[in-house]
Amino acid sequence: MKRFTLFTFLYLALGVCLSAIALGYPNLPSGLQRSLFASAGASYLVCLFSTFPFWREATLRFYRRRNSAVIVPWLGIGVNIIVTIWELQSQNWAMEAILQAFSRLSVVLIFAEIIVITWRNPEH
C-alpha cells in the first residue's frame, strides 16, 4: 500500500521547483542546468520510492544493525550546510552558487527523512 508523507510532497515540490528554475533560465551554463535537472530527477525518484513501505523498512533495518550509523544523517546535513555556505561566500552569493545550493536540498531532505523515520521507531 502506498503511503504519502510530508516528505513525499516536499520531494515533489523540490523537483518541480528545480525543473522550473532549469527551464526558466535558458542562459544558465549547461553544467549547472544539467545538475538542476539531475537533482530534480533524483527528487522525483525519491518521491516515488518514499511512498512504498520498503523505503521505511529498509531504513529501519539498516539502523537497527548499525547503532553507530545513527549520527551519519546529522553529519550529512551539517557537512552539506557548511559546504553550501562556504561555496556561497566564496562566490559572493552569485546566482550560479545559489542554484547549486538548491540542487543540494534533495540530499538534506533525504537525511531529514531518515532522522524522522528513526525517531518515530519506538525500538530505537
The whole-chain average pLDDT of the chain stands at 88
Q: What is the pLDDT of residues 8-35, one digit of tens each?
A: 999 999 999 999 999 998 888 999 999 9
Residue 124 is predicted with a pLDDT of 47
Report if residue 113 sits inside a domain: yes
**Segments forming the whole domain that contains residue 37:** 6-120
Report if residue 101 sits inside a domain: yes
Residue 110 is predicted with a pLDDT of 92
C-alpha Rg value of the chain to the nearest Å: 16
The grid coordinates listed for 21 are: 528554475
Report if residue 1 sits inside a domain: no
DSSP 71-98: GHHHHHHHHHHHHHHHHHHHTTT-HHHH
pLDDT of residue 123 exceeding 70: no
Number of domains the chain contains? 1
